Every structure is written in C-alpha cells, then in structure tokens.
Structure 1
Amino acid sequence: MGTMTPAQRRALYESARFARETTYNGPLGPEYTPAGTRLRLWAPTAEQAAVNLYRKGHDSPCIGTLPLQRGPQGVWSIWLPGDQHGHYYTFTVTVDGVARETGDPYARAGGLNGLRSMIVDLARTAPAGWERDVRPVIPPARRSVWEVSVRDFSQDAASGVRPAWRGKFLAFTQTGTTLHGDGIHPTCLNYLKRLGVGYVQLMPIFDFGSVDEAKPLLRQYNWGYDPTNYNFPEGSYSTDPARGEVRVRECKEMIAALHAAGIGVIMDVVYNHMYRYENVLNNTVPDYFFRQNEDGSLSNGSGCGNEFASERPMARKYMIDSLLYWAQEYHIDGFRFDLMGLYDVDTMNAARAALDALPGGRDILMYGEPWQGGGSQLHRYEANKANLAMLNERIGIFCDDTRDAIKGGCFNAREPGYVEGKPGSFWDVGGAVAAWCRSDRLPPHAPSQIVSYVSAHDNFTLWDKLLCVRYERPEFTASDPVALAQNRLAAGICLTSFGLPFLQAGEEFARTKKGVGNSYHSSPALNRLDWARAGQYHALVDYYRGLLALRAAFPRLGTTDRHAPEALQFFSLEQPLVGWALPAAPGDGAWWRALCVFYNPTDTSRVVPLPAGQWKLLSNGTSSSLWRGESRTYERKALLMPYSATVFGAV
C-alpha cells in the first residue's frame, strides 16, 4: 500500500468495508497473569508492529524489541512469559512506511509523564480493605455535586494537610484536618463531611500533558483538560510519579476515603480531544480516532486542535471501554462529560447502557456540557440541548439557562441576572425552578436531567460575578453585605429548584479568583481553596449546609419523575417577586406536607400572602437551619427580607 493522504484515510475509515473488516469486540491492552502477560493492540492499517521493553519508566535503555503477530480485525498481539509486573513498554507501529514509537492506548499504568506504558498487577495496587469498598448509596433526594481540582483542594498551607500530601490524591485521606491545625475550623475531607454534599466531582484525574511530572508542583499549574493517557491517573497528583503503580494505588486510596465518608466520586472525563496531534491514538491508527474535514484535515469542534470521532466503531468502543474500566477498577460513582455536544447521541446512550449492565451500574451518574467548543464535522445527532429528548433520561446536562437567569450571562461580567435585579428575569427563574419541564425552551425531559448551577470552574466564581455587576472596580477580597445576600439568594434558588444541584468548590464561602474568569493555568495561589476564607465566611457555609439538608428532607425536589414539576403552583405576586408551593409526593418520607418558597431580589423587605394553613418558617434567607429547632409558625402572610429566599413547610 502506498502512502495515503488524510482525505484517502477518511474515505477508508468511513467505508462499510473497513468497519466490517476491522471492528473488534474483544479485550485490548495488557492482560496480566503471574504466568505471563498478553499485549493486544488494534492497528489495522499497520504494516508492522513491535513491542519495546524497558526496566524503568524513564531514562533507561531498551532491553529488547519483539515483533507482534497480526490477527483478525487488525489486532496485533504478543505473549510475554513470566511475571511482568512493574516492567515498562512501548509499541513501534509502522504505517505507510513511517515507524512511530508510542504508548499503549489501553495502558493501565505508566512511567514519568506517561510516555512509557507499564504492565501492572492491579491486585497489588489495591489499598487495604479495597475489596470491601462499595459505592455509597445516595438516593436522588441527597444528590448534590461539589466540583474541585485535586490540586486546589489541599494546596493551601493553611489546610492542615501534611506538606508531602498537599495538592495530591492522599490529601483526601487525611482525617480531622483543621485550619492551621487549630482544632476548630474544619478543612478538606473533615469540612466536606460536615457540609453534606452527596458527590465530589474531580476535575480531570487521568494522565494529562500540561504539567511536567519530573518537576516539583509548586510553580506549575493546570486544570488538566489536556489528556495524554485516558486509563491511568495523573502522576503529579501522586507522591511518586516515576513508579507507575503508586499513582494507581493513591488514586484508589482517595476514592476509598471519600466513600468511607459517604461521599460519591464523579470523574470529569475529556474524551472529546487530546492534548497533542502526536498521541497514543494517532500514533497507532493515524487519524482514525479523530473527526476529519472533507479534505482529511482535523475538525476542531473542541477548540483544541482535534476532536474525538465517537461515531466510528472502534473509537466508540475505546471510549466505552475506558468508562467501564474506571467504573469497575476504581469504583467511580459518576461521569461528567466535557463538551458532550461533540459526541453523538448513539454513543452516549450506548455508554449509559454499558454502565447500566454493571452491578449497581444504574446508579452511576452521567451528565455533561451540552455544547461544543467550535464548528464540528459531527453530522449526526449531537448530545446537546436540542436533542435532550433523544438521550436516555439518566443522562443529564448542565443548564446554562438556569445559570444565566439567576446570576446573569457568564461572558459579560457586567450583565445582571435575577439576583442583581435584571428586569423581566423572574419569568426565567420560574422556568429554572421547574427544571424547564414546563417550558418549551428545552425538549421534553426528566427534571433530574437538569444540572442546576450558578458557578463552575469555567468563567467567574459566583462571588466575582456578583461584584463585577455591582462595581466598576471591584475589591474582590473585601466583605460586601449586599453581595453576600445576593450569594445566599442565588444558592437559595438553585437549592430549592428541581434537578441536580451543582456547586463550584468554595462557592459556599464566597470563593474569589480576583476577577480571573479562566484560571486554567493561573498560579496555584490564585486557584487554591483559601481555607481561611471558609472560616471567615462560616455563616455562608452554614447557609449552604442547611439548604442541602433541607432539600434532602423534601425528596420531591430531587425526583426523577418527569411529571413532578406539574405539581408546582406559582403565585401571582408583584414583579419581580417569585413564589410557589409544592406538595410532597405521597409516601416519600418528606418532613413537611408541602413547601412554600419566595424569592425577593429587591433591596427592600416585602410582605406576601401565604396559602391557607399553618406554615413553619424553615429558612428566612439568612439562616437556613431554622427548621432544625422549634421555629415559629405563620398564617396568612409572611415578611421577606431583602435579597432573600424564604422557605416555609406545611405543618
């Protein structure tokens, strides 16, 4: 075969014949046993393939190269006798006469910076008691998500985490941490257990390319949306990136510690693009795994130079195999898909079905960003907002409609939303409360498919956004009583709406990045969670904590029943006030027969009529834990404080 152009490759890959002759459903990657290891590599366009063996993951010479045997469907393999645990390898794949040395796309561990793959006996990476680690049971009523970077979580020297573990997986395993070790103000895992969130969503923890694992972490920083190896953890988050098994074990220790605390772990997955054109997928089957334009050049719907071709059979298999691997080997409780609009609907539904087939797999969460990062060559139904009704109803989406209605557009710092007094925005707040199930803005869907949020790692923190709207030149570190009240109101709306509530880590203590909207490679100091701030704004933390618990005590808000929002009764109130009542679902164990909620985004107190009956005040917009004690009951009317979400329960 002569050298193929990218356009000829595209025609080949998209032909029925290629799919028929090369689609393979068996195992790929290393298959370890103490007696020997079988390596399998899918490389149907290769003329030759060989494995290169190394004693170490970096800076060691090749100790031998052995040819792989070609089998059916373009799968090359070799049997390496003897216990191969801890040995490193690469493949040399020759396509169109060009030989490329590459890691194994299915590798389970790797050396420094993931350049060499490692054969690993996964049983030896299990922490003590790992066989007893199970996913915590988190019913829909208790589902809430707190998003954090492994690095940000414990980088702060005030965190009380031992220095060697700061910014690393093991920080999640240290119990009882407090601010400067003061024994009073909880930090890290100790703090999370008290806050009461259901899940921690970890920003990318697979092996990424933008941080050099050979250098100390201190001056390097990146969120990690630049994958280099999908099937093993990032080395810079481990205590020893040079030994491939260490990152695997320490990642599992982190997950076990969160599970022991009753917290689920959601993994942020970025299958939509890879860090560089030269990567483990392109080096084995050039251009197959990435979507192409008519002329064969790479489509760039990710905005990162390439985009994953999820509709091609072996690309789809690769993505689903990877999800299943993390779910089974690492006991992951859910997946958040970066730029989910770059995958086709069929792939997402197939991934859902594959996870569902695992023991307890139906409880694994799936949701993602229902948009793209640019124009794409995906000429199929995209997994986006417009096609929400085509997705399995246990696949959710981040709802920018809710985000922007509550706090204002995220791309214009000055644009206000409902909590800052934007005229007319109360209509959209009503839509948000019902998770848009009573709106024609989105196709028919279940309320639980809507991820309700007002801040995430992208764009401004909620605090910074509130100050940008209020001031020409904000003083981000100053305390501002009005912005604090608006912050509570934003949380009050989000946490009393149908859907899956989602928080950016530190939103609950007025986290600031000093007005930097996209801090993906800013300094560690800017990105770290400032644990002193959690102490300073402990009243705001307690407000979030109370609302999370209140929400769990009224299960209907977290329901998966697509008809539940029909039971919402909105009141006719003077604009811009919003008020509604919702009866409890029969037999769901709710603490109250109904909820009655009011939002007041104005700077003055308001008096509103209450529905008939007696109502206990659960949250007055400042304290969200009034329901925990003997609070007052009200009839006929109620007083709403400025910038407040006020919650009543029917007694």
Structure 2
Amino acid sequence: MHKGGVNFSLFSRHATQVSLLLFEDVQATKPFQVIELDSEHHKTGDMWHICVLGAGKNLVYAFRVDGPFAPEQGHRFDPSKILLDPYATALATPLQWNFAGFSSRSVSSAPKGPEHENPVVVKNLVTGNSFDWENDRPLHHPWSSLVIYETHVRGLTVHPSAGVRSRGSYLGVIEKIPYFRQLGITAIELMPLQEFNPNEITAVNPMSGERLRNYWGYNTMAFFAPFEGYGSRLYPGCQVDEFKTMVKALHKAGIEVLLDVVFNHTAEGDETGPTLNFRGLDNSIYYLLEEDKSRYKNFSGCGNTMNCNHPVVRNYILDCLRYWVVEMHVDGFRFDLASILGRDRNGHLVANAPLLEQIAEDPILRDVKLIAEAWDAGGAYLVGRFPGERWSEWNGQYRDDVRRYWRGDMGMAGVFASRLCGSADLYEHSGKATVNSINFVTCHDGFTLNDLVSYEYKHNLANGEDNRDGSNDNHSANYGVEGPTEDPAIVRIRLRQMKNFMATLFLSRGVPMILGGDEFCRTQLGNNNAYCQDNEISWYDWTFLEKNREIFEFVRNMIAFRARHPTLSSERFYRPEDVSWFNPSGHVPDWHSESAVGCRIYAEKDGGQDLCLLCNPLTYATSFVIPEPPHDSVWLKVIDTGAEPPFDICPPGQGLPFSGNSSTRIEERSMVVLLAERNPIRA
C-alpha cells in the first residue's frame, strides 16, 4: 500500500489468467469490480501484478486464477474458486463462515469432495502500517535465562473464571501478564495463531452431540495473517493491531513472544480437500506430489506436505518469518514437524537442507530463536541430529526418559542422569550446547501434568474417533485409580510426582518449558489429543489456582531457585570435575540395575554454592550417604518433594541444616536437594 493506491501481486508460473476481485465488504458474495490481469501488461516473469489507484486500507479483495486442470501433471487450476492471497496480512471472515475440510490431526474422519465446501468464502483485507510501537525492541534474552510457558491464546482466558474483560483474545493475554510475572516465566510460546478455520471439522462429539472444532489451529491457510477470531472484531483488521498490542505489552513485562508455526502442510488437505489458495495458484510448485502427480505426499499426517525446499516456497517461508519479526516484533519460532523442512522435492531428508540453512543464516532472522519439533509423520526422528547449531529442539527423549524414571521403570537411572545434565549424549557430538535442548515433561500434545499422574490410558472418546487417535505411549501412571479420586494416599503420591517432574525440569541443564496450567493441575480428563475440544476440556479453569495453590507455589519457587543458581542453566555441558554421581551407599552407581541415585554439582564460580541432588523413584524409602560439604560449610535441605509446605521448597536462607549426620532418609518417590551454605540462617 502506498499513498496513491495499493499494489497487488501474485505468483503463478502456470496460470493463463488472473483476476483481482474487489468487494464492498466482508459479507459481500459478489465483487463490485473484477480487474482482469493480462500477461502482456500485468506479468513480469512469474509474477502477476497491478496497482489499483485510489484503493486503500480495509479494502476487501480476492483472486481468481485460471489455468490447466490436469491432475496427472500436478495442475489443479479452477477459475470457479475464490482464492486467498498467500501474502495477505489480514483476512476478513464472515461470522458464520465455514468450509468442510480436514482437521489438523485427523484426516480420515472428514467428509470428502467439493460438494462439502460452503460457497460463503473468506477474503483478504488490505491493512495499514500505522501502529505506534513506542520504541519497542527485541528483548534478546539469553537462552540460559529462558523459561518457556506454552499456551493457547483462547484457552488461556476464555473460561469465565479467568477474570478478564477480553476473554479468549490477544488482549486477554495482556490481562494475565501480572500472573506471568508472579510465576517467573521469561517467554511465552503461543500455539498456532496464523489464520485457520476453526469450523472445518464436521464430526461431532459422540458423547454430547456437539460439533467439534479445530481448536489447536494446526491447519494454516494464511501464514502472514493473525487469526481474526482472537481479535475483538471492533473494526476490520483489528486483530493485527491487537496482536501487536499484546506483543508490546509482553515485551514491557520482560517476556519474549515465540510463535508455533506450521509450514509443513496447509489447510487444503489431500486431493479431495478444499481449494483455498496454494492449490489453485500453482499446485505442482507448492506441494510435494506422488509420482503420478495426482496425489500428495503426506509426511505431515494431515493430507499434504509443503514443497519447502523449492526456491519459490523457500522464499515464501523466509518472507513470512521476516514479516513476523520485522512488522510484528516476535522473538522466535517453534516449527511444527520441522523435519519436513529438511526434505527435498522428492521427499528425501537431505543434509544441509537449503531452507534450514537459509533460516539460520538469514541476516534479518539472525538473532531470533529457532526451535524445531525434530520429527514428522513420515518416520523422521532427528532429536539430537537436527542440522544447524542455531536450531534448538523439543527434546522428546527428555520427556520420555524423565517420565519413565519417576514412574519407576527399571534401568532408567543412566539416561535420567544424562537428561538432567543437559543431554550431552544427544547434542555434544554435533557441536551443540545444553540450550539446544528444550526440556519438557508435558506439552499441548499429550497428557497435562495432572493427567500424567492420574491416568494410565488415554480417554479420547469425545474426539469422535473411537479412542484411536492420540499416542498410546504416554509413560503415565494412575497410582491406583483411573482418573479423579479423593483417596488421600493417592492424592498425596500424585502431588509428590508432579513436584518430582517440576523439580527435575528446573534442575536440568537445557531450556525448561512448561505447559500452561500445569502449575495449578489443569486437567483434560485424560484426553491426550484435545485438538478438537474448544470447551472446558481444554480451557484453563482458574479456580484450580486456589484449589491447587501448593503446586503453584512449588513451581514458582522452583523457577526462582533456578534463577538464583546459574550453574543449573549454564550453556555448556558438565565436565567430569563439575559433577559426581553416586548410589545410596556413596559409591559409583550401577547404571543398569540401580534406580535411586544422587549427584553433587560443584559451583562454577567463586560465590557459587554446591548442590547435592538425591533422587528416589522407588516405592519404598531409602537412606543416602551424604558427601562431605565444602570446607566451612554445611548442607541445608532446601527442596524435599516428600515434605509438606513450606519445607517442600524453602525460601532463600531458610533451609534446614543437617546436624552432622552422614546419611539421610529419602522417602519413596521423592527428591531432596541440598545446598552448601557457609553461614546458614536457621529456620
């Protein structure tokens, strides 16, 4: 957009005709003007373009594109379809707009065929660039200071108990900033908010009869546009301004903003899905196709796979990332199913994939945080091997190994020790650092922390797929009762296990990430794949914060404890002289047969304090021989997950000194942390 009008441009190599459609408003079903672009005057190379004088902000527009319909050649042009602009910075969606397509996590249950598409269509909106950022600048937090809080924009505040004015919105996130600061997080990772259709799922909840919705948003259709449904709809395009307002407010509070982005596939699904943009613009370029060209390769599990390493698609993704950094001021990205970004045009994984290298080396993106979900649905699992030193990874091995250790699985002590020390076995060989590991025990995809210790099996019947969806490998336990219980013994062990998981997370080298709501025992009632549950299964019930204040205070104090002891968040791996491991008898552990283990972590710098961690995942108490404290110091017990508050985690200077004993009893399924203190203040 410029003072005289608006420049429109569109890439299509194989189109024979492009039409620009201008609409009176979002509800209009027919354009008031159609501008035909001819190849002689409005095409340069593969770019179709026109400047419309007098056009400006809030203009509603779309495209029609004609060309060969030859699926056997990969072409699926259809001039009857109204198409979105891939570079649109905002969409204009009718309030009742819907198309029947595919859910992001379940393709099989969706109805097929174009007859299911609703003729009411979403359109593009011209936006301006007049937002006052008030000198907002990137925060550039060092990785070592990052504590990531993964959350869903709507789910965070849509429940009536959230106590906010702007429920389920970008502005609602702002109202929770005091809470974030109290908790102590330094970054928020927002689940997908690039435009998607929440109403694309036609299946219903067989238990309630209610129609299911695409709640998670992993089915993007407009990568430059923030989701309008998280805006107030007070005026056209307000979602853009309100997203920026949210980012600015979070930055003022010292909180970085990371976006979960989904470049591996789009909302168009497989060959029977809706035509929204890319399929109708140049299908053979934007997607990976099978040998017969009429079907799509499906490494995403969602019907199609973006042709990420085609130069045109590669440039598109780079342009999109730059836009979110430069214009929207985000601090980094988490890439969904990022292994797909390393596949070539035949779908093969390649070393030094062009897109991954370009993202890492791009001058504009040089300082943003890059996080890969280092696997895909095509069998690639690259945890510890994702290419490029700049890329950090969701460490799925950390999640699984820590879960299994505290569940009491045999033979897990060795890998547990590796995970707590930063997963050097996974990352050090490739020249990476501890902060390349994003450590997590739970995330949006799977059980919540409360459900991890309350359910042995997934309970996904509400998703309408006969409980077939979602992972069966949860490494969870219910400790005697499946689901909620008032049995005090079971409640006590569940709380202790949640503390064990959180203590391990914040004592581990690497970057900790918690799933939003875990800090106050949010539950999804055993549903480990709540992608379609836009209801109280997924929403944060803030009454749980007071009901479960004990776990909240524990998590908050664990975050503060980590910040006070920078040895725990160092970007380098421990050297042999930095840490020593021992069994309860004080000897070198037999990693294959023993489960209860301890370690002494030596302070890195003058003024630092040694730590001693004692971990007992067994179902009975055991006694540990305690190593001698440093000279002129005593050990203070500062964390004990088996103790009642306030002794589960003590305030600074109020730990419990040992009285000269050389051993201590560690209760079943609990962790104790000792801190070396020269002049302790007795509680």
Taking structure 1 as the reference length, the TM-score comes to: 0.82
1:648 equivalent in structure 2: 674
Of 374, 389, 392, the residue aligned with 2:388 is: 392
CA contact (8 A) 1:37 1:84 kept: yes
2-side partners of 1:234 and 1:432: how far apart? Answer: 37
Q: Is the 8 A contact 1:93 1:283 kept in 2?
A: yes
| 1: CA distance, partners of 2:428 / 2:358 | 26
Q: How does 1:110-189 map to 2 (within 5 A)?
A: 110-112=91-93, 115-123=122-130, 126=131, 129-162=132-165, 165-174=166-175, 188-189=176-177
Q: CA deviation at 1:627?
A: 4.5
Which AA in structure 2 matches 1:392? G
Cα offset, 1:564, TM superposition: 5.9
3-state SS of 2:424 partner: coil
Equivalent position amino acid for 2:61 in 1? Y
1:529 aligned residue: 540
Amino acid at match of 1:52: L
- SS in structure 2 opposite 1:158? helix
Q: Is contact 2:389-2:431 (8 Å) kept? A: no
Change (3 A) 1:593 1:102: same
2:89 pairs with 1:108 = yes
CA deviation map 1:122-167 (0-9, x unaligned): 21xx2xx5232223342333211111111110111111112xx211
Residue aligning to 2:450: 463
Q: Distance in 2 between matches of 1:592 and 1:85?
A: 57
Q: Residues 427 and 433 of structure 2 are in contact (CA less than 8 Å); yes or no, is this contact kept in structure 1?
A: no
**Stretches of structure 2 lacking an aligned partner (at least 5 in a row):** 70-77, 98-120, 202-209, 270-274, 343-352, 456-476, 586-593, 678-683
2:614 corresponding residue in structure 1: 598
Q: Give, in angstroms, the shift of residue 586 of structure 1.
A: 3.6
Query: What TM-score does the superposition give when structure 2 sets the normalisation length?
Result: 0.79
Distance 1:490 1:617 in 2: 18
Which residue pairs with 1:228 in the alignment? 221
Give the partner amino acid of 1:46. A
Q: Which amino acid aligns with 2:250?
A: L
Give the conservation status (yes or no) of the 8 Å contact 1:141–1:557: no
Deviations 1:535-583 (A, max 9, x none): 1111111111111111122223323335668833222446311222223
Spell out the pairing of 1:292-331 with structure 2 (5 A cutoff): 292-296=289-293, 297-331=295-329
Q: Deviations over 1:481-523 (max 9, x none)?
A: 1011011011111111111111111112222111111111124
Which of 27, 30, 42 is equivalent to 1:61?
Answer: 30
Distance 2:580 2:651 in 1: 22
Aligned partner of 2:186 among 193, 198, 210: 198
Counterpart check, 1:39 vs 2:8: yes
Matched to 1:632, the amino acid is L
The yes-or-no answer on 1:280 pairing with 2:277 is: yes
* 1:362-511 → structure 2 map (5 Å cutoff): 362-374=366-378, 384-385=382-383, 387-388=385-386, 391-407=387-403, 417-438=404-425, 445-468=432-455, 469-471=477-479, 473-476=481-484, 478=486, 480-511=491-522
73 and 221 in structure 1: CA distance in 2 versus 1, 3 angstrom threshold? closer
CA contact (8 A) 1:477 1:512 kept: no
Matched AA of 2:356:
M
Alpha-carbon offset, residue 473 of structure 1: 4.6
What are the Cα deviations for residues 298-356 of structure 1, in whole angstroms up to 9, with x where unaligned? 100111100111111111111111111111111111111111111114312311222xx
Q: Distance in 1 between matches of 2:537 and 2:407?
A: 26
Percent identical among aligned pairs is 25
Please report how far the alpha carbon of residue 274 of structure 1 lies from its aligned counterpart in structure 2 after TM superposition: 0.8
Q: Structure 1 pair 53/251, CA: closer, same or farther in 2 (3 Å)?
A: same
Q: Which residue of the partner structure matches residue 108 of structure 2? A: none
For residue 628 of structure 1, the aligned residue among 636, 652, 670 is: 652
Shift of residue 440 of structure 1? 8.8
2:478 is aligned with what amino acid?
A: R
Distance 1:171 1:564, change over 3 A: farther
Q: Which amino acid aligns with 1:368?
A: A
* Contact 1:340/1:383, CA 8 A, preserved across alignment: no
Secondary structure, counterpart of 1:467 in structure 2? coil
CA change 1:603–1:386 in 2 (3 A) is closer
Query: Residues 221 and 524 of structure 1 are in contact (CA less than 8 Å); yes or no, is this contact kept in structure 2?
Result: no
> Partner amino acid for 2:266?
M
Question: What residue number does 1:11 align with?
Answer: none
Counterpart of 1:485 in structure 2: which amino acid? R
Q: Secondary structure at the match of 1:33?
A: coil
Question: In the alignment, which residue of structure 2 is the partner of 1:181?
Answer: none
Asked if 1 retains the 8 angstrom alpha-carbon contact of 2:479 and 2:493, the reply is: no
Query: Which of the residues 227, 230, 233 maps onto 1:237?
Result: 230
Q: CA deviation at 1:439?
A: 5.7
- The answer (yes or no) to whether the contact 2:427–2:436 under 8 Å persists in 1 is no
For 2:140 and 2:237, locate their aligned partners in 1 and report how far apart those are by CA, in whole Å: 29
Q: Give the deviation of 1:57 after TM superposition.
A: 2.2
The CA distance in 2 between the partners of 1:559 and 1:333, in whole Å, is: 21
Query: In the superposition, relative to structure 1, how do residues 366 and 592 fare at CA in structure 2: closer, same or farther (>3 Å)?
Result: same
Could you tell me whether the CA contact under 8 Å between 1:592 and 1:650 is conserved in 2?
Answer: no
Distance in 1 separating the partners of 2:11 and 2:450: 49
The CA distance in 2 between the partners of 1:66 and 1:334, in whole Å, is 39
Give the Cα separation in 2 of the matches to 1:496 and 1:234: 36
Q: Is the 8 A contact 2:383 2:396 kept in 1?
A: no
Worse-superposed segment, 479-488 or 627-636: 627-636
AA aligned to 2:415 is D
Report if aligned partners of 1:447, 1:565 keep a CA contact under 8 Å in 2. Answer: no
TM-superposed CA distance for 1:190, in Å, is 2.6
Structure 2 Cα separation of the partners of residues 85 and 440 of structure 1: 49
Change (3 A) 1:435 1:466: same
Cα distance 1:481–1:611, how it changes in 2: closer, same or farther (>3 A)? same
The count of residues paired between Structure 1 and Structure 2 equals 573
1:376-407 superposed Cα distances (whole Å, 9 cap, x missing partner): xxxxxx7822633xx22221111121111122
